[in-house]
Each structure stands twice: as structure tokens, then as C-alpha cells.
Amino acid sequence: MTYKKLLYSYSQVYFENDRFYHLKDETRPTRYYSNYLDYKLSPSLVSLKEDLLYLKVEQKDYPTDYAMLFFPEKVDLPGEIKNHLRVAGFHLEKHLIFTCSIDNLSLSKKAVNGISIRPLSVDNRKCYLEYKYQQNLAYGKAYADEMLVFNEKHLPEPGSTVYLAFDGNQIIGDLTAWDYGQFVEMDDFSVKENYRGQGIGSALQKVASDGFPSAILIAEEINRNMYQHQGYEEASYYWTALRKSDRN
């Protein structure tokens, strides 16, 4: 199994053919990462055009007009594919997959006095839902409302554990840990701005990674130095393409 396939092993496939997996979640129509084509093999230009037409029909009733494509791991896009996508308004992005032995993970050793790390529970669930809602408002009210409905029904998602950092009764940070057997992916990680630089992020990661041999994550090139400083090493990569625009 490739790293990319491992990282998306909890995703539910809506449709599959010999070229791609189609991931579709009509309860979250504005969330790009819940609605996309994931190619098994690099497509030809003719196939790509056909697939984009298919996706357009599948998403015709969505409130926003967008298309997202995932390409195979460790495959660079041919020039004609890149050119076509760019002309069509797609933004291309290279995603780096990093891994690190937990023993080699270099985290802050600062003491976080007065800060407690707790898993999501019935007692703190309502507070967490409001915390995530306020975070998601940065992407628009429609997205925040959509995610609130999803989170109320589904959190924590199968395979995941949510950890919260508290200052008293106030949530000041969170992290979602995904269990991939020998790997843990520490995702959706945040610390409130006025609490950053105090070792709280490291405290969350230490609790979330306890009992796992290794960590795995997806990052962009801009964050390479930060993760390499923590002990991560690049293991693989894949490309995505995203075109987005509001419907009129």
C-alpha cells in the first residue's frame, strides 16, 4: 500500500472505474477535500477532459462551482496536462508526505504549567463544536454551518481521536490523531495565536503520538524546513489540482 492510499484509507468511495476513485459527500458539498477524483494512473489529456465533464455533471447542484483532482503518488504531471489545467483555471499544488520515528521526533520540552490536554468527551463536546465553528467561519458562513452539522453527527470520525488543550475551561488548541497502525497522522492542528510559542503544540503532539512507533503527515513545500527541524523526512509526494469559483 502506498503512503497516499494509507492516508486516505478511511475515505468512502462513491464510484470507481479503471481510471479513478470518485469521493463524494453530498452532506458537505462546499468541502473540496470531500468531493474529488483520485486517479489510479496518470490520465491522458482526452481522459482528463472526459473526467472533468463527468465531475461537472455530478456536482451540478452544488452551491459552488469547483473541481478537485488528486494524481498518483510519485508521478509528475506531463506538460500537456499541466498546461491544460492551468489554462482551465486550476491551481496545481505538490503535497509532500513526511514520516518520522516517534523516538526521533524533536518537540519542545517547555513545561506547560496550567494547561491540560484532554480527549474529546461528552463533557467538552459542546465547547469544542463552538470552537471549531468559529475557526471554520474563516472559510465563510456556509462552510461553517455545513461543517457544524457534520461535526454534530460524526465527531469523532472512525479511526480518529480528538485532543484538546485547555486553559481552565477554555479550549486554546486542538489536534486530531488518525490511527494508521504503525503510523499516527496528527492533523487539523491549531493553537490560539496568543498561546503559541509556549510548548502547547508539542504537548498535544506528545499525547497524541503516545504508543505509536512512527508519525506521518502531509505538508506543502513552504513548511518543509519546519517539519525537517522536528525530525521528519520526506517519504513521498503527490500532486493535486483545484479550480474554484462561485456560481452566479
The tens digit of pLDDT for each residue in 41-51 reads: 999 999 999 99
Q: What is the mean pLDDT of the segment spanning 215-236?
A: 93
| 106, pLDDT greater than 80 | yes
Q: Measured between alpha carbons, how far is 64 from 34 in angstroms, rounded to an integer?
A: 14
51 within 8 A of 72, measured Cβ to Cβ = no
Note the pLDDT of residue 15.
97
Lowest mean pLDDT of 55-59, 66-70, 112-116, name the range: 112-116
Map out the domains of the chain with their CATH numbers. Answer: 3-96+237-246 (3.40.630.30), 101-236 (3.40.630.30)
Q: Measured between alpha carbons, how far is 41 from 19 in angstroms, rounded to an integer?
A: 6
Note the pLDDT of residue 111.
80
Q: Answer whether 0.85 is exceeded by the pTM.
A: yes
Note the pLDDT of residue 248.
45
| 9, pLDDT greater than 60 | yes
- Structure confidence at residue 247 as a pLDDT band (50, 70, 90): low
pLDDT in tens, 150-206: 999 999 999 999 999 999 999 999 999 999 999 999 998 899 999 998 999 999 999
Q: Which residues pair with 164 in a beta bridge?
A: 118, 174
